[in-house]
Amino acid sequence: APARPLMVRKLLATTAISVVLWLIAFAIIRSDWLSFRVPSVVG
């Protein structure tokens, strides 16, 4: 095993990557660019 596994840096990097991916997914879902709703036809 390495003398200094740098666990804190790996933890921060993993957290940062997951936050960025989560925000991208959240932005796509919240925007009108990708809609999960069935369009309603009025008339």
DSSP states of 11-37: HHHHHHHHHHHHHHHHHHHHSSSS--S
Rounded to whole angstroms, how far apart are CA atoms 34 and 27? 10
Residue 24 has pLDDT above 90, yes or no: yes
Band of residue 23 on the pLDDT scale cut at 50, 70, 90: very high
Q: What is the mean pLDDT of residues 17-25?
A: 97
Question: Is 28 in contact with 34 (CB distance < 8 Å)?
Answer: yes
Residue 13 has pLDDT above 80, yes or no: yes
Q: What is the mean pLDDT of residues 5-17?
A: 94
Give 10's contacts (C-beta < 8 A, 6+ positions apart): none
Band of residue 43 on the pLDDT scale cut at 50, 70, 90: low
Residue 22 has pLDDT above 80, yes or no: yes
